Structure formats: C-alpha cells, structure tokens
Amino acid sequence: MKKVSVVVAALLSLSAQAFFAPALARPLQCVPYARAQSGIGIHGNAATWWDQAEGTYKRGSSPEAGAVLVFKSTAAMPYGHVAMIREVVDARHVLLDHANWSRPGLVERSALAEDVSEAGDWSNVRVWYGPSRALGSRQNPTFGFIYNGSPHETATLATAQDDGSPNKAG
C-alpha cells in the first residue's frame, strides 16, 4: 500500500508541476516582430514577403524609416529575414530593429546595417552581429524594402502633392 501512495504522490506532484509551471516560450522570430513593429500585414517565411507584397504594398530600393528590409533565402538563412528600418543614417547605413539575428529570440534595436552592393541599391548588406560586436563579415542578399502603405495610397498621395494647384494651407 505504501508503494501505491508513493506512486500516487509522485504522479500528483508531476501533474501539479505541469499545470502550474509556466509554458516554455518559443524564441521570438523576425517575422512576427517585423509585422508588429512596421504594421505591414504579411505572414509566412521572411523570404516570401517580397512576392507577397506585390500589388499590396509599395516596394523599392531606397531605405525609409518604418520600411521593412527583406533578405533573400540563403544557406545561412533558409527562410530569409526581415528587419524594420528604425532610422536612415546616410545613403549606405541604416539602423534596424529586428529579432532573431545575433541569437535565437533576441530583439535588437538600432542595429547598424551597411549597404555593400556595388550599385548602391541595398541588394547586398552587412548587419551588426552582437557576439562579434561589429558588422558581420557575411554579405546578405536582399530583395529590397517594403513600405507601409499600399501602392494606390502612395500614388494618390503623390498626385495630390504634385497636381500643380496652389498650396491651400499656406
């Protein structure tokens, strides 16, 4: 009888631990982080964002604060990567906010990224890598930037600003 009560007590203890123990959180990935920070409502692997954005969001090769830089799939990053532009420093440098780059689940804010493409079109970048405390040595190919705003909204805004009529506010 004592053996049964020991087993029952052990089972009760294990079930209590399972019930009351906090769930192990999965590391934060770049996609949900970039989506939450930028407001760009795209889902799926980071490398699919560029094609998914076509016709829904404006895309381009110039960095803007709030835009998302989309990295291509590579052997080192089979699912690609996405990072939001926090600030444009100059023509070849931006500060990124992103997750899951320097280590699983880590959110990095104001991480430096450098355009190392020959054409200056942000098609290849180096990104700050925390463990080395420097820009990473690896060059990372990118598709470009997705801007928060539909192509229709952007075209309407450009037309409204450049319609030749006098500025009514001033």
Cβ count near 2 (within 10 Å): 6
Whole-structure pTM value:
0.75
- What three-state secondary structure class fits 20? helix
- What three-state secondary structure class fits 72? coil
pLDDT one digit per residue (tens) for the chain, 170 residues: 555 444 434 433 333 333 333 444 578 999 999 999 999 999 999 999 999 999 999 999 999 999 999 999 999 999 999 999 999 999 999 999 999 999 999 999 999 999 999 999 999 999 999 999 999 999 999 999 999 975 544 443 433 334 443 333 33
Q: Which domains, and CATH codes, for the chain?
A: 30-161 (3.90.1720.10)
* Residue 35 parent element (H or E): helix 30-38
- What three-state secondary structure class fits 128? strand
**Tell me: the pLDDT tens digits for 117-152?**
999 999 999 999 999 999 999 999 999 999 997 554
As a whole number of angstroms, the distance between CA 115 and CA 17 comes to 50
